[in-house]
Structure 1
């Protein structure tokens, strides 16, 4: 049996007795398993997988314990994976990330009411404790501040990059080239922290930063418990933040960002794009300045044509005016954000908002509270075109969120294995548009990692009358 004890790093060197008990198998077995899964994902940083069950089965003897010492809390690893070590010593970045996991999981569960953060497996419903809109925003800020992410975000140079974990080699190379152009212009990168389009921009930016002698480059990975277990952090991430659920993760992205890039992806990327469009389409946000670019190599142009067509047909022409499409030109992407920098700064000044955290962005309550994917909730989504554009964007976002869950999240995958695929019901015209886009994602291999066969976790139905 191989055991390793780690000295504390970061904020969480001292824990109360109740905090210690909260992640022990005997007192809180469910939270302990979540803590164990997230730590195992961190120890497998760099592994390109979306199969949490295989990750767990390959490391079934792995355990993790907290040990109280006179100078603080140590983490003890029992049978950790060998790839986390170099010549018998744990990689420094992995060491730091383990304490980030402890920091985020313990802090939120202990500070906020039971059920608000849903760090443990939720019931298959959307009921439970809810926070008011302002409280959700405060919670997201609180987590980012507690991770020491806000104070170093004042230079308006953080670009959030969204895109698929399942992308082709030439698309991955393109994301690196874009990241390089951003790094040369001293932008920092924030992604979902996984492989593919989440890794490429960070890798490219790291080279750009090195050439510009930027010694404090930030490669921020924002994830959430059920995703990190299926998508371990890539090896470039130097700041790991685990938000309580997907909605607070999305809010963290958009309030933290000074610009957003959408690379080719699948259902998760569509969810992210629909989220930011749903927010920016709110009348209260007409003064907001969040540069938004959709970009990829020439070979991926059809992906953006499909996505743009879907947005135009569902959310309307106004929504398409909120983003700029740049094909096969990484340098133009870097120049675009460099030119937008002063406009973003002036917009924040005009409304007296923080440079580090966009407080003034108005996010509807429906887009802040967790949507729990289940057969009942997916079938109950109100999918029809005759509704306010913001509401439609929020509902479509939930549909894609459920598909993401069905593709990679352990609880949803297990639920589908037992009960069959989710069923999406709606107005025929909208259902046809949705089906066309999803079929394009499947045909382009964007729903699973390369080399794996995709079994749809959903069925498109048409039950509403026009």
Structure 2
């Protein structure tokens, strides 16, 4: 028990099993390096997020405040490596032994941090200043994490949605996951709670009923978000991508279809990212099932989203997604039908089942966006550019709000300089402001506590808001 926090803690050494046999001396040294150029602090934050699986806080600083003396050290030994945990959360242990699933996720943390640092960022093997180089890097990270399976039929459905959702919305995500699982579909999410956990939970029951024992529950996250959205306990394959852009590309490249449940700004960011890609002229004929769904109580939420998308991007955008309310069976059937179209297209185009090489993702979508005050103010949120480019900048606007809400860097910037200013075409700004206010009113910005906006919509914020389309 830590004397300062009175929180039960455990100190121990563990030998990782599977996926992480040996590390070089240089890799171990960097993992233990606590200086600005080292990896120790990143390892410590991500490891603590895994060890606090099931946390109900979305403040990335909460875990470190609760376990201030937590530390993790990597030791190279004659039979491999050992991880030394100091003052780790006792909830990650049973009778003094680290829970097996938590141990596996901890291995994933070390694996991905080491691989990204040594093979992606420091090596010259990938040109991260080119679109092809970034896509190759995403492929290699997923392959190294054993996410990509050759010889398997397309069956991976990506589920997006909020970590802060109502109970009836969460129950609905489980029902959809159950129907997907009955049809042999595996689940990939952002790995956290809420709409990221529900589909996996529903699918586990369905997979058990169908006697499917090698099902995949893939969680894809990134260092800036994992501390706020710790992996849920069902994730059996965790991948930590270097940044949000590579995380989003990984979803689109690895998945065979996407379902969106109710959420907040992070969910809106994901929707705009995918639509920006699907609206690109080179992807006009690319089949990709995209369903927005929720219980009947969430119908107004999707009306707001649909209204905003049509206003900003034009009515044609609605052809790229389907809204299904309160019907899990129809959602699952729509996804099965859509995945079959993807399968046929991949066969015809001789594209891989396990990685969508054919989809065009412009370099502008792949470049990491730094959500600071200057970059947020410089976003071009006007309809005088191609729709996929406007979608990309709208995605960046929501990304900045996500950073201000739950990412440590963004929260510090807001505390120091005040809210981000978002400016653009007045009609778009009015609709954006109405959408964001609805998110706040519905409690979709934070899991707990009073929400203090990290943004200020400048143009049109005080003007009357047009009513959503019927």
Q: Structure 2 CA distance, aligned partners of 1:150 and 1:189?
A: 14
The alpha-carbon deviation at position 3 of structure 1 amounts to 2.4
Partner of 2:366: 368
Q: Offset of 1:431 from its aligned partner?
A: 1.0
**What residue number does 2:192 align with?**
194
Among 112, 132, 135, the residue aligned to 1:134: 132
For the 8 Å contact 2:34–2:41, the answer to whether it is kept is: no
Q: 1:114 to 1:457 in 2, by over 3 A?
A: farther
The answer as to whether partners of 2:150 and 2:353 remain within 8 angstroms in 1 is: no
Equivalent in the alignment of 2:454:
457
Change (3 A) 1:8 1:153: farther
Write the distance in 1 (CA, Å) between the matches of 2:37 and 2:91.
27
Give the 3-state SS of the residue equivalent to 2:215 in structure 1.
coil
SS in 2 for 1:310: helix
Shift in Å at residue 37 of structure 1? 0.4
2:43–2:109 CA contact under 8 A, matched in 1: yes
Shift of 1:386: 1.5
> How far apart, CA to CA, are the structure 2 residues paired with 1:279 and 1:333?
22
Partner deviation per Cα, 1:119-150 (whole Å, 9 max, x = no partner): xxxxxxxxxx9420001110000000000111
| Number of equivalent positions | 452
Q: Deviations over 1:64-110 (max 9, x none)?
A: 00111111111110111001011211000110111100111111111
* Separation in 1, partners of 2:123, 2:392: 22
* 8 Å contact kept, 2:380–2:424: yes
Q: Do the aligned partners of residues 115 and 440 (structure 1) sit closer, same or farther apart at CA in structure 2, a change above 3 Å counting?
A: farther
Q: CA RMSD in A?
A: 1.8
Cα offset, 1:414, TM superposition? 1.0
Question: Tell me, what secondary structure is at the counterpart of 2:293?
Answer: strand
Retained in 1: the 8 A contact 2:61–2:227?
Answer: no
Question: Does the alignment pair 1:284 with 2:279?
Answer: no
Q: Is the 8 A contact 1:171 1:264 kept in 2?
A: yes
Structure 1 residue matching 2:88: 3-state secondary structure: coil
Q: Distance in 2 between matches of 1:12 and 1:216?
A: 21
Partners of 1:287 and 1:347 within 8 A in 2: no
Asked if the contact 1:49–1:232 (Cα under 8 Å) also holds between the matched residues in 2, the reply is: no
CA distance in 1, matches of 2:72, 2:391: 41
| Partner Cα separation in structure 1 for residue 336 and residue 33 of structure 2 | 50
Kindly tell me: are residues 398 and 27 of structure 1, through their superposed partners in 2, closer, same or farther at Cα, counting changes over 3 Å?
A: closer
Between the aligned partners of 1:235 and 1:152, the Cα distance in structure 2 is 26
Tell me the equivalent position of 2:107. Answer: 99
Counterpart of 1:319?
317
SS at match of 1:418: helix
Q: CA deviation at 1:384?
A: 1.1
Which segment drifts farther, 63-72 or 21-30?
Answer: 21-30
CA distance in 2, matches of 1:258, 1:290: 7
Whole-angstrom CA distance in 2 between matches of 1:82 and 1:237: 20
Between 65-74 and 20-29, report the one with greater CA deviation.
Answer: 20-29
Deviates more, 1:147-156 or 1:417-426: 147-156
Structure 2 residue aligned with 1:82, among 90, 94, 104? 90
Q: Is the 8 A contact 2:25 2:76 kept in 1?
A: no
Match among 280, 285, 302 for residue 304 of structure 1: 302
Alignment of 1:373-392 (within 5 A): 373-392=371-390
Please report the TM-score for the alignment, with normalisation by the length of structure 2. Answer: 0.93
Instruction: State whether residues 294 and 324 of structure 1, in contact with CA within 8 Å, keep that contact through their aligned partners in structure 2.
Output: yes
Residue 64 in structure 1 maps to residue 61 in structure 2: no
Q: How does 1:243-258 map to 2 (within 5 A)?
A: 243-258=241-256
- Write the distance in 2 (CA, Å) between the matches of 1:29 and 1:249: 23
Structure 2: unaligned runs, 5 residues or longer: 3-9, 461-470
State how 1:18-417 maps to structure 2 within 5 Å.
18-26=26-34, 31-114=39-122, 130-151=128-149, 154-417=152-415
Q: Secondary structure at the match of 2:32?
A: coil
Q: Which deviations, in whole Å up to 9, do the C-alpha atoms of 1:23-80 show, x marking residues without a partner?
A: 1145556521111000000001121221121211100011100111111111110111
Tell me if structure 2 keeps the 8 A contact 1:21–1:28.
no
Counterpart CA distance in 2 for 1:25 and 1:107 is: 16
Contact 1:48 1:232 in 2 (8 A): no
1:112 aligns to what SS in structure 2? helix
Q: What's 1:120 paired with? A: none
In the alignment, structure 1 segments of 5+ residues that lack a partner are 117-128
